[in-house]
Amino acid sequence: MDSSKLISLLKTFDSVEIKLFTEFLASPFFNKKTEVIDLYGYLKKHAPHFPIKRIEKQAVYKAVFPNQPFNDKRLRRLMSSLLKLAEQFIGLQKYQSTPGVSNYYVMSSFVDRNLDKHYEYNFKQSQEKLESSQYRNADYYYQKYLFADTLSQQFFKKKIRQYDQSLQDTSDYFDIYFLSKKLIYTCEMINRNKIISKAYELQFLEEIQQFLSKYPLNTVPFIHVYYNILMMLISENGTSFFQTLKLLLQEYEDCFLKDEKREMFGQALNYSIRKLNQGDQSYLGESFNLCRYGIEKEMLNDKGYLSPWAYKNVIKLGLMLNKYGWVKDFIETQSNKLAPNFQQNALHFNLADLYYSTKEFDQALHHLNQVEFSDIYLAIDSKILLMKIYHESNEFDSLFSALAAFKQYVIRNKILSKSVTLKYKNYIFALNLLLKSDNKSKEECKAFLDSDVPIAERNWLKKVATE
């Protein structure tokens, strides 16, 4: 039973849900089978780990049907019934916790039953509760849309031939909700298109731009923020939108949930780092300060843990600013804030990067050899760092071998997007030019590095070219 869908689902229940599901099963409205209650009563004794020996089919069957011969088909039917009820339970939990939805159906039912007094009281209470919230996010406008829709239903049912403001409100609030969600999805697709090989299709992008260019953005904080994120991502020069975005995140700090603020902040940080990677050094200090702020405010956490990419990025930026003491202290004191499966790789890779920067190459190699390539980007970064160490320590035979292996690794990899693959191919091309002894190749490389083509490790390559 350990691999069954039933046990997999029950393992996700917390202590509160385990108790609530017991009450759910005891309600005749949802369940009239006592055997289902008995089955769950036995299983919950072994929650949340469900030891395999305790949930073997024979043991479970004996607990539910004592002194009866084992019947696999009967047990499977009972497990299926319990699974369906558990699915219904979590669906109901989600429904009840979704802001505004349950109230909407209650009020809509009042309209259907011509219970005007019930409707008006419930509507007033729901509106007051909604407006008392500080948040002005997409969910806020979704609830506004739902409540306006019930008003529109009520007005329509009375068959009054006059102007109905609730119909206008229903349409307007739905537009705001739609635009909010559309902007989120569009920005995420634009970001993903930059790093993966399969491109997403961006529907209605021009139409949204045209519409929002005339929209009173300051009336809807969520759209105001995401419009600037969108324009920052798609404009040839998104710097002005980036600067506006930073100001808006401070201005509207209390308007959004923590996860929403984290996503918005991440958009600003990713843009800053991307500009820096393209060679714009004016974003170096900006990116470092954004990273530090995000870590201090826990804006760069994921499920309670510090993001390994944020951890790595702030270290890299600190090294570029020659803040070696700060970096060493940060690596050693903050690695335990990462998820356990990231801690060792992140610790050793970033220590290797630190010791490379301080030219302690033996220490760098010692830590780099302890990195396990569990992620494609970690593998690429480790291979590039290894080549840097070989170059700085004049181990050119090892460098040529590592560069040839890296070329094959990039060519054969099908996960990377074409743009990312091109960036690493250009790095390989440039480094090969630099490793040639003739001046013509070096001059060709310098011109290549000064061009607009995407090149990984451009700053390091330029440094090598001038030495």
DSSP string, 121-156: HHHHHHHHHHHHS---SHHHHHHHHHHHHHHHHHHH
Nearest to 117 by CA among 127, 107, 128: 107
- Taking the chain (467 residues) in runs of 10, the rounded mean pLDDT of each run is 89 95 96 95 92 90 92 94 97 90 93 93 93 93 94 83 88 96 95 80 92 94 97 92 94 92 92 84 91 88 86 91 95 93 92 95 95 87 95 93 94 86 93 87 90 88 86
Question: What per-residue confidence (pLDDT) applies to 195?
Answer: 75
- Measure the CA–CA gap between 75 and 63, rounded to whole angstroms: 11
Question: What per-residue confidence (pLDDT) applies to 277?
Answer: 76
> Could you report the per-residue pLDDT of 242-289, keeping only the tens digit for each?
999 999 999 998 999 998 999 999 899 989 988 887 778 889 999 999
Nearest to 152 by CA among 101, 144, 100, 121: 144
Read off φ and ψ for residue 203, nearest 5 degrees: -85, 140
Question: What per-residue confidence (pLDDT) applies to 197?
Answer: 66
Contact present, 114 and 71 (Cβ < 8 Å): no
- Helix (H) / strand (E) containing 79: helix 72-97
Domain definitions of the chain by residue range: 5-97, 101-178, 373-467
Number of H helices, E strands in the chain: 23, 2
- Measure the CA–CA gap between 393 and 384, rounded to whole angstroms: 14
Instruction: Report residue 204 as tokens.
Output: 């209605």
- Measure the CA–CA gap between 75 and 112, rounded to whole angstroms: 43
Read off φ and ψ for residue 323, nearest 5 degrees: -95, 65
> Could you report the per-residue pLDDT of 54-101, keeping only the tens digit for each?
899 999 999 999 989 999 999 999 999 999 999 999 999 999 988 789
Question: What per-residue confidence (pLDDT) applies to 415?
Answer: 84
Distances (CA, A) of 67 to 8, 42, 64, 229: 28, 16, 10, 67
